[in-house]
Each structure stands twice: as structure tokens, then as C-alpha cells.
Chains A and B, each alone.
Chain A
Amino acid sequence: MAKLDIERIRLKVYRFDPETDREARIDTHDVPYVDGMTVLDALFHVLEKIDGSLAFRFSCREGICGACAMFINGSYRLACETQVARVLREGHRELHVMPLPHLPVIKDLVVDMTRFWQNYEAIAPWIVTRTADPEKERLQSPAQRKLIDEYVGCILCGSCFSSCPSVWTGREYLGPNAMMKTYRWVVDSRDDAAVERLGRAGNEKGAWRCHTIFNCTEACPKKINQTSAIQGLKRRTVAAMLRGAR
């Protein structure tokens, strides 16, 4: 990666503790820049060397655990895999780090994901089978496996949920992630509960709330196309209704 000829980077970070602060503020820090530095590295510098009260989530630092999704310079990104140099190359002159929008703030960059997790649980995201388990594996061809490949890559980071206007306005919509995950099970050749799953996704909390705005798809750090999964759900729900009506 091309080297950047700078010594410091200006970081503007959102600060808010709902228990003690009347309103949020933005703190500005100048952080020493080193090659290869990520946004997460910059946050750690603040925590360890400047202001120990900064709160943020982290774990894997390699883009797989989903802990560090944030709103960085106007886009949803994982702080750990976002190189400072890349943000600057996009034409930004400083880093702007905000928590995931539209979610309640616990402190600073740490948001309350309760509703996201509850919605995930609400779709019964586990396999349901009607036949006894075989002695060995249930067979699944590489082609059948491919149908779920995109969707099992989800890291449950919450970006899509945070980005969805239907989630902001409709308290009961389960959101793009829950819908995409429903579809993941519907198309898994080993799962036998497609009828129940489509029933759940076909009601007022489900797929019909999606207005194909594509915010989620754009927000997803794993480039998962939730919208096409939701379209798939809609198609199958209609097909199931037609079959039922016959």
C-alpha cells in the first residue's frame, strides 16, 4: 500500500454518556500516524495515551467478529479493517468516527444492539429437520452449498439494521438481517421448516416492509446482498400462498 507522507491524523470522535451528559459532543484528537494504521488503531491510541474514558467495541481486529461496526466518514465500516490511508485517499482530510446511527447509545461508540439480537432470535435461526439424524453427515452438493454461501458469511455486525429506513420508521419490522437469515434457512437443502419460515417472513413484521432501498446492501462490510434475499423471500411467499389457495 502506498505510503502516506503525514505525521499526524486528525480524529473527530463522537462522545456521549446518556447517564451523565445532556447532549453528545465531538472530541478532536491529533493522533500520530504510522503506516498501515487502521481506524481501530487510532481509537486505541486515544484510549491508551489521551483519554481513557473513550468506549468502543473490538475483539478480532481482522474483520470477522463483527464487534467494531461504526459510521466512519459517512459510511458504514468495520473500524479494524479500515485503513486510515484509504479514508484519506477517498478525499477526506480527517477521520470522523460515529456510532452506528439510529441505535440507542450506551456510551460513545458502543450502541445497544438489543433489538437487533431479539429480531434475530425471533426468526428461529437454527436448523429444523423432520427426519432422524443420519449416522454420518446429511449430504449437500457443492451446488446446494453455494446457495447459502453468501448468507452464512454474515458477521452479525448490525450495519444493515442500522441503515434501514424501514427499521427506523416501523418498530415491528424485523430488519434486513433477520430477513436475509430467514432466507438462508429457506434455501438450505437440509432444513425442513420453509413453510413456517415463509409464514413468519410473510407477515407485517417481515419481507413486505422492505421497500428495496438497498441501504443495507451498501452498508454491509461483507458485501452481502440482503435485498435480493428479501426479494427471494417475497417470491417464495407468493408462490406458497398461491399453492395454498389452490
Chain B
Amino acid sequence: MIYHEVLVVGGGLAGLRAAIEAHDAGCEVAVLSRVHPVRSHSVAAQGGINAALGNHEKAQDDSPERHAFDTIKGSDYLADQDAVEILTSEAPVCIYEMEHWGCPFSRTADGRIAQRPFGGAGYPRTCYAADKTGHALLHTMYEQTLKRRIRVYEEWQVVSLAVEDGRCYGVVALDLRTGALEAVGAGAVIFATGGGGRIYGNSTNNIINTGSGMAVAYMAGVPLKDMEFIQFHPTSLFGNNVLMTEGARGEGGYLRNALGERFMEKYAPQAMELAPRDITARAIQTEINEGRGFPGGYVHLDLTHLGAERIMERLPAIRDIAINFTGVDPIYEPIPIQPGQHYFMGGIDTDSTGATEVAGFYAAGECACVSVHGANRLGGNSLLETIVFGRIAGRHAAGYVKGEGGEAARSGLAKVMARVLGETEKKVLRVLEADGPEDPADLRDELRETMFRTVGLFRDEKTMTAGLEKVHELRERYPRMGLRHRGRRYNLDWARNLELEGMILVAEAIAAGALARRESRGSHFRTDARERDDESFLKHTIARLTGDGPRLEYRPVTITRWEPKARTY
């Protein structure tokens, strides 16, 4: 059996940063990822990463405290304030480290890291590399893993987590190229498997963001936290929902409805286009719903007044994408945009060291919920979270392995792994041999359409109840699906439909959490309960998987310095 002291699942920013840290702490580390690391979703992040460096002339008195306050207010007070303070105070250290590692940030005239304004932030504090920040960061991080010769299992898909008596022993993974199922034992496992945007329709996420890490953990008994908080990005391309970064508005872009009005003045008169995402996305959808959008359902993101030079220098990829996919050149014409599903604030329940309630099992990045984003994430804080908490999780996992935790895990290893491998083998073969009448592609499409429509930007009891019923129906139909191909080698039909079960279970946790939360907070907006209700709901939702779906529990939010106040912009 394969064994590694620390096994990181996921080759995005959080995973690679965790691997580097555990390696530098003296552990033997491997990364396992279902795509080559540089193909991970982190590479697609555009706008930037937040840190109170104070490099912008308008941000000289910025500070980690101000960054923390903006994050907490942005979260609609659901973030844990101790965790947010870690995020924002570690931010400058982490950004300078990336720069020392060679990250090609854009620069100010005097050679420092350039920063731009982003939504919901009091100061321009979003560091960027043009509009390809994720690409710049991920390639730099990958270079550092090459330098350390960290082993990568490329195109391996984790299907189950080995847990017994509250302790984690490793994972079982499918080697996509051979189709073999392998047990991979580990002293500690860190999940950095990213978000689940593709559980929704109209998503800005890459195609492989299916939430499979969250699902694998959930199915192994690890609870998920705050799953009902789904971020919808205001500006995704009309048609295929490729993201048009918030940086486009940070650089001065306007939103206009079909009447040509800058409608944000009705919704956020101070912040205008740079209001937080939840507010801006709902504003756009309201304009569309009330008939002030363009036919088909979109509004305009207008950059034409910025001029060719600024667009080419600061937003070159945005321009390429708009031209490639819609034929619109933003230098001359406004871009058609609509809100799209964008980010999971919730995820695997961890504390601020990345630890879960299962000993030896850690999570970091978008798949985890620490929670630093609460009910609404600020743009530029997610990339930051991957690096800050990837590093922290790597350090703590290494500490666990070096301490007695590792020893204890190893003693029962062979037996547990054999059991989990056997059970997983049965399950994956059942899927490979499935020959029922249901078309899994239809199940997936129905799931996505249902989630976007019923647990979307605007929610209410009746619609969500219907949505949850539909998800239950899909759960029942799943075992009756039929696959088209039964070979084992590089079988995408198999690999993708194996995950479908987990997508349905995670969708169920989202819908159940949203139904139970009878208030509006951040991204969770209910037309039948429009106010925030701190008395009843200033608390985290914890979902545990049981035989008949999720069982919900609640946990208090950690408040340190900032008492909840009304949230206006």
C-alpha cells in the first residue's frame, strides 16, 4: 500500500501551499489531484488578493484591523472574528512571501506591488497581476513545489476517506489513467479540493468544481458548515457565465440597465458599483426581473469610458474573453452580463488551525469553512484564505504527524485501509456497471437547474421546499442511472458520474440549511423573511449526513471586537 506522512488532496493554491509548509516542517509529503496542479481552478482567479499593504496612495492608513472590519461587515457578522483576525494579520506576510518566491505582481510607479479597489473594502487593498492573479499565484506556487521535489499523483480522483473511531487513516482514490482503485494511507490528510459551483447552473466555476471533496468528507461523517451561503457574482458573461472580474468595476467600470441608467445609485448610493457582491448581484437581478434588463435577461458592464490603454494594461484577459465568447470588444461596446453562481462560503467544518473533528483530517481553501467569509465573501479574500489557511493547515498537520497522532494512526492502518478499499471497490463497481434507464447527464442538468432556480439569489419557503423535493427525487433516481461506457481506463463517464451522488447530497445540505434559516443574511436572501435576525440566527449551521439526509445543528459565532450592526453601504 502507498503511504505518505502527509497527503494533500488538491493541487490548487490551498493544496500546494499546505504541501510546501508540511514539507518545510520536515514531513514527507505527496499531493494527489485529479488534474495537473496548474489546471486547478485557482488558475482562473482574475481580480486579485487582499492584504493591507498600504501601497496605493489612497490607502496609506490601511491596516489589518480595517481589513478585518470590512471582512466581518461584509460577512454580515457571521464570520468568526478570531479567524478573520488571523486572515488579515497574516495577509501581508503571505503576500510578501509570494513576491519573494517570484510571483509577477503588477507594480506601482515606484516598484511596489500594485493594489486596486474591490467591492466592500474601505481602501484599495487588492493586490493583482493584471487580471490573471490566480494564474500568477498558482504558477509561482507550483514552481516552489517543483523546487522541493514534492511528489504529485496527477489525475487521481479521491473517492473515499478512511475514517475509523474518529481518526483518519488515508484515502481511496481512482487512478484515472489505469482505472485502478488504490488505497493511499497517510499520517494526516489535508483536503484542499476547492468549491462546488457546478452543483449549480449558471456557474462561473471551472467544469471540475463539483464539490467532490466536501461530499467525500460528508459521506465519511465529517460535518459541513454554513452550506446555505452561496455567493452569486454580479458580473458573469451572458450566455456561458465566464467571469468578468470585479476588478473591471474596481478600475472604474459602470453597470447600466437597458435604459442606460447607472442603477446602483438606487441600491448602494455611496459605494455604487463597488458595493459587496450580494447587494450588487441582487440589484442586477431586480433590474432584470422588473423589466429594465435587455431581452433574454442581462444588463451592461460598461468599460468604454476607461479607454483602450487602461483596458489593455489592466484587463487584457477580460477583453480577450469578451471578444472570444461574445464578439464584443469592451473598448468600444458594453459587455452583456448577468449574475452567476460563484463561490461556496460554506464547506468542511474546520477550526482556525484547519482541523476537523476527525483527528488527522484537515481542510483548507474553498472546500473548508473556517469561517472567515460568513454569509458573504469579499472579493480578493478567497485567494488570501487559500494561502493563509493552506499554510496553517500544513503546519498543524505536520505537527500532528510528528506528535503521537501519527503513531497512533499507523498502528491500525493496514486493517482500516483494507476495509475501506473493499467497501469503495463495491461502490465504484456498482456505478461502473450501472445499466438502468436514467441518463446521468439529465440528472446533473436537472440538479443544476433546480439549485439555481430554487436556492438562488432570492429564496422563499415554498420554492425551496419544492427544490428540496426535487433533490430528493434525484437522489432516488441516481441508483437507476445507466452508464454508456464500462472500460476502466480514462473513463470520464465513470469518474464524473461517481461524483454525481455526492453533488446531490451536498445540494441537499444546502437546501435544508437554507430552508431552516428563516432570516436574510448576506448572500442568503429570503423574500419571506427580509430582515437579519441576530436573536435567532447569529449562529453557524452544521449539517451531518444521516440515513435520511442532513441533520442540522447550530453553533455560536465567535465575536471578539465588533458587535453586529446594521449593514449599509
Which A positions have Cβ atoms within 8 angstroms of B?
A: 1-2, 17, 19-20, 36, 47-49, 51-67, 81, 83, 106-108, 110, 113, 117, 120-121, 124-127, 129, 133, 135-142, 144-145, 148-149, 152-153, 155-156, 188, 190-191
The one of B177, B317, B321 in contact with A106, judged by C-beta atoms closer than 8 angstroms, is B177
- Nearest CB on B from A184, distance (A): 9
Residues from 73 to 131 in B contacting A, C-beta threshold 8 Å:
96, 99-102, 104-113, 129
Given contacts A61-B207, A145-B104, contact A47 B112 (CB under 8 A): no
Complex CA–CA separation, A144 to B35 (angstroms): 33
Contact B39 A67 (CB under 8 A): yes
Contact assessment for B485 and A140 in the assembled complex, using a CB-CB cutoff below 8 Å: no
Q: Are A126 and B143 closer than 8 Å at their CB atoms? A: yes
Number of interface residues of B (CB under 8 A): 58
Q: B561 within 8 Å of A by Cβ?
A: no
Partner of B146, one of A65, A121, A148: A121
Residues B324 and A64 in contact, CB atoms below 8 Å apart: no
Min CB gap A221→B, angstroms: 10
Known contacts A64-B135, A140-B111, A145-B104; decide if A17 and B489 are in contact (CB<8 Å): yes
A59-B484 contact given A64-B44, A127-B101, A136-B96, CB 8 Å threshold? no
Residues of A within 8 A of B320 (CB): 63
CA of A60 to CA of B172 in the docked complex: distance in angstroms?
26
Report the minimum CB–CB distance from A3 to chain B (whole Å). 11
Kindly report which residue of chain B lies nearest to residue A67, judged by CB atoms. B39
Contacts of A2 in B (CB 8 A): 327
5 examples of A-B residue contacts, CB within 8 angstroms: A57-B35, A58-B208, A107-B490, A144-B111, A152-B129
Nearest chain A CB to B262 CB, angstrom units: 27
Q: If the complex has contacts A36-B240, A133-B100, A136-B96, are A126 and B44 also in contact, measured as CB distance less than 8 A?
A: no
Residues of B near A127 (CB, < 8 A) are 100-102, 143
Q: Are B43 and A141 interface neighbours, CB within 8 A?
A: no
A-side contacts of B147, CB under 8 Å: 124, 126
Contact residues in A for B104 (Cβ distance below 8 Å): 145, 148-149, 152, 188
Contacts of B243 in A (CB 8 A): 62
Nearest CB in chain B: distance from A150 CB, A: 11
Indicate if B63 sits at the interface (CB-CB under 8 A).
no
Q: Are B206 and A61 in contact (CB under 8 A)?
A: yes
Q: List chain B positions with a Cβ less than 8 A from chain A.
A: 35-36, 38-41, 43-44, 53, 96, 99-102, 104-113, 129, 132, 135-136, 139, 143-144, 146-147, 177, 206-208, 239-240, 242-243, 317, 320-321, 324-327, 441, 483-485, 487, 489-493
Determine whether the beta carbon of A61 is less than 8 Å from that of B242. yes
Assembly CA distance A58 to B496 (angstroms) = 12
Nearest-neighbour CB distance to chain A for B18, whole angstroms, equals 18
Instruction: Given the known inter-chain contacts A125-B143, A155-B135, please indicate yes or no for A141 contacting B111, CB distance below 8 A.
Output: yes
Set of chain B residues within 8 Å of A106, measured between Cβ atoms? 177, 490
Q: How far is the CB of A198 from chain B (nearest CB, A)?
A: 18
A53 partner, pick from B108, B321, B326, B487, beta carbons under 8 A: B487
Q: Are A126 and B144 in contact (CB under 8 A)?
A: yes
- A138:B493 contact, CB within 8 angstroms: no
User: Quick one: given A106-B177, A139-B112, are A67 and B35 in contact (CB under 8 Å)?
Assistant: yes
B493 contacts A52, CB within 8 Å? yes
Apart from A52-B492, A120-B146, what 17 extra A-B contacts exist at CB < 8 Å?
Answer: A2-B327, A36-B326, A52-B483, A55-B490, A60-B41, A61-B240, A62-B44, A65-B40, A83-B324, A106-B177, A107-B177, A107-B489, A117-B36, A127-B100, A137-B99, A148-B104, A155-B135
Chain A facing B: main interface SS: loop
A125 to B140, CA, bound (A): 9
Give the residue name and chain of the A residue nearest to B209 (CB).
A59
Measured CA separation A137–B147 after assembly (Å): 21
Complex interface: chain A residues within 8 A of B102 (CB): 126-127, 188, 190-191
Partner of A19, one of B109, B132, B324, B489: B489
Contacts of A145 on B, CB cut-off 8 Å?
A: 104, 106-107
Interfacial chain A residues near B101, Cβ < 8 Å: 126-127
Query: When the two chains form the complex, which single residue of B36, B207, B321 contacts A58, counting CB atoms closer than 8 Å?
Result: B207
> In chain B, what residue has the closest Cβ to A41?
B240
Can you list the 7 inter-chain pairs with the closest CB atoms, starting with the nearest? A52-B484, A52-B493, A127-B102, A139-B111, A52-B485, A1-B327, A48-B441
Chain B proximity of A61: nearest CB distance (Å): 5
The reply to whether A65 and B38 form a contact with Cβ atoms under 8 Å apart is yes
Contact of A156 among B38, B107, B207, B240 (CB under 8 A): B38
Q: In the bound complex, do residue B136 and residue A152 qualify as a contact, i.e. CB atoms below 8 Å apart? A: yes
- Which residues of the partner chain A approach B43 to less than 8 Å between Cβ atoms? 60, 64-65, 155
How far apart are A209's CB and chain B's nearest CB, in angstroms? Answer: 23
Minimum CB–CB distance from B420 to chain A (whole Å) comes to: 27
Which residues from chain A contact B129 at a C-beta distance below 8 Å?
152
Contact B111 A66 (CB under 8 A): no
Contact status of A125 and B146, CB under 8 A, knowing A55-B492, A62-B321:
yes
CA of A25 to CA of B243 in the docked complex: distance in angstroms? Answer: 37
The answer for the CA separation of A60 and B44 in the assembled complex, in Å, is 7
* List of B residues within 8 angstroms of A144 by Cβ: 111
User: Which chain B residues border A17 with CB–CB below 8 Å?
Assistant: 487, 489
Alpha-carbon distance between A221 and B105 when the two chains are bound, in angstroms: 22
Of the residues B39, B139, B485, contact of A51 by C-beta under 8 Å: B485
Residues in A whose Cβ lies below 8 Å from that of B112: 136-137, 139
Chain B min CB distance to A12 (Å): 19
Tell me which residues across on chain A come within 8 A of B441, comparing CB atoms: 48-49
